[in-house]
């Protein structure tokens, strides 16, 4: 790989290759990346910036908002509302969609995000991140409504995340494989550090919150029991376990060295399909994983084929190395 390809250059080249991405989408991705740089700075300051701790409010899902959740949400909105590339935005931290104000030109894209995923890790200095998904507005020239966002993940035109860890890394797909960019703080720009990311089809590493084991459904229990049995069990090999409790960090590890991540439906709240949100967590991550040769299902079907019915809809998530995801999915079919 030639050295020092900035995100800007990568996107310009994507635009030139058969017009792979239109200029408005290029602008949108540049703006999202700029917002992520701003969020990264706030995250890095931590206690020095007075940004840690609770904001004393709750979001639409009844979860306590941290100060950084709200700051990250504002940074993304302020960066994106005036550029003319968007029609509307939706966020984990906002009950309703946010339509671009009339005083700004309106574009053809819809942007969804979880401004700061892994909120429980903010105050303890563990990796967190921003997840985003881009859709096209189905029709121009009318008021944007919530149902315009309710498109299956297969319709995404771009998706990615930015992980704020020991390094700040932006990971992106526009449907042409997965590329990773590391923030060079001296240059102030994201630099391409890995192209054509591939996930190994097999793995010996699984990620799940084991404290929920007693609530799991039979197929998930069977899969994890078999992993735990190790070399002496039916799988004939030992498995390792990781759980960071930040989906961005767990997915980043899987894109880097393989693995399987599960946040399945469980019996704690049987009426909820899962904990994670379909539109701004599961869909973008599933597309990245598929673009890197992995798989993502809810145990029964491909996540990207699910037709959403609500903006903040939840979903059961099983994603990562292809053969392992297919195995857990097959266990569900046998129930």
Residues lying near Mg ion in the complex (CB under 5 A) are found at 114, 117
Instruction: Give Rg (Cα) of the chain.
Output: 19
Q: Among residue numbers 122 through 181, which ones bind ligand AHM (CB under 6 A)? A: none
Nearer to ligand AHM, 247 or 303 (CB): 247
How far is 172 from 19, CA to CA, in rounded Å? Answer: 17
Q: Does 245 bind ligand AHM (CB under 6 A)?
A: yes
Asked if 57 is part of the footprint of ligand AHM (rule: CB under 6 A), the reply reads: no
264 binds ligand AHM (CB under 6 A): no
Residue 329's binding partner out of ligand AHM, Mg ion, none, with CB under 5 to 8 Å set by partner kind: none
Q: Is 246 in the site for ligand AHM (CB under 6 A)?
A: yes
Q: How far is the CB of 265 from ligand AHM (least distance, A)?
A: 13
- 52 makes contact, choosing from Mg ion, ligand AHM, none, with CB < 5 to 8 Å by partner type, with none
Enumerate residues 306-325 that contact ligand AHM by CB under 6 A: none
> If binding is defined by CB under 6 A, does position 117 make contact with ligand AHM?
yes
Q: How far is CA 225 from CA 94, 156, 250, 259, in A?
A: 39, 35, 21, 16
Among 209, 235, 256, 327, binds ligand AHM (CB under 6 A): 209
With both helix axes pointing from N to C terminus, report the angle between 67-80 and 23-45 in degrees, rounded to the nearest 10.
150
Per-residue burial over 94-111, b = 16 or more CB atoms within 10 Å of its CB, e = otherwise: beebbebeeeeebbbbbb
The site string for ligand AHM over 274-293 (x = CB under 6 A, - otherwise) reads: --------------------
Nearer to ligand AHM, 14 or 127 (CB): 127
The binder of 306, among Mg ion, ligand AHM, none, by C-beta within 5 to 8 A per type, is none
61/125 with CB nearer Mg ion: 61
Q: Which does 97 bind (CB under 5 to 8 A by kind): ligand AHM, Mg ion, none?
A: none
- Report residue 244 as tokens: 């960071």
Q: Which is nearer to Mg ion, 95 or 145 (CB)?
A: 95
247 sits near ligand AHM (criterion: CB under 6 A): yes
Long-range contacts of 83-88 (CB under 8 A, 24+ apart): 83/27, 83/28, 83/31, 83/107, 84/24, 84/27, 85/24, 85/25, 85/27, 85/28, 85/31, 85/109, 86/28, 86/110, 86/111, 87/137, 87/144, 87/148, 88/137, 88/144, 88/148, 88/149
The separation between the first and the last C-alpha atoms of the chain, rounded to the nearest angstrom, is 47
Positions touching ligand AHM (CB under 6 A) are: 63, 92, 114, 117-120, 209, 245-247, 263
């Amino acid at each position: 790989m030639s050295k020092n390809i900035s995100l800007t250059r990568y996107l310009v080249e994507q635009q030139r290759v058969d017009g792979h991405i239109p200029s408005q989408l290029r602008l949108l991705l540049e703006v999202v990346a700029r917002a992520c740089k701003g969020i990264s700075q706030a995250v890095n300051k931590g206690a020095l910036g007075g940004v840690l701790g609770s904001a004393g409010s709750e979001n639409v899902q009844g979860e306590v908002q941290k100060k950084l959740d709200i700051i990250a949400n504002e940074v993304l909105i302020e960066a994106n509302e005036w550029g003319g590339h968007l029609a509307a935005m939706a966020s984990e931290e906002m009950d309703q969609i946010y339509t671009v104000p009339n005083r700004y030109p309106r574009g053809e894209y819809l942007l969804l995000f979880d401004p700061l995923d892994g909120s429980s890790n903010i105050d303890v200095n563990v990796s967190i991140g921003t997840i985003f998904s881009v859709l096209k507005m189905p029709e121009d020239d009318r008021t944007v409504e919530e149902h315009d966002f309710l498109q299956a993940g297969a319709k995404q035109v771009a998706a990615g995340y930015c992980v704020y860890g020991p390094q700040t890394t932006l990971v992106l797909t526009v449907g042409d494989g997965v590329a990773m960019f590391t923030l060079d703080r001296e240059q102030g720009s994201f630099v391409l550090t890995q192209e054509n990311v591939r996930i190994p089809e097999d793995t010996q590493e699984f990620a799940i919150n084991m404290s929920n084991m007693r609530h799991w459904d039979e197929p998930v229990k069977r899969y994890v029991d078999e992993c735990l049995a190790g070399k002496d069990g039916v799988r004939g090999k030992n498995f390792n376990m990781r759980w960071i409790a930040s989906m961005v960090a767990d997915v980043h590890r899987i894109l880097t060295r393989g693995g399987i991540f599960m946040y399945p439906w469980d019996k704690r709240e049987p009426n909820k399909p899962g904990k994670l949100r379909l539109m701004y967590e599961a869909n973008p991550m599933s597309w990245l994983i598929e673009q890197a040769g992995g798989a993502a299902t809810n145990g029964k079907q491909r996540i990207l084929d699910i037709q959403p019915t609500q903006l903040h809809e939840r979903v059961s998530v099983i994603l990562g190395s292809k053969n392992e995801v297919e195995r857990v999915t097959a266990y569900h079919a046998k129930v």
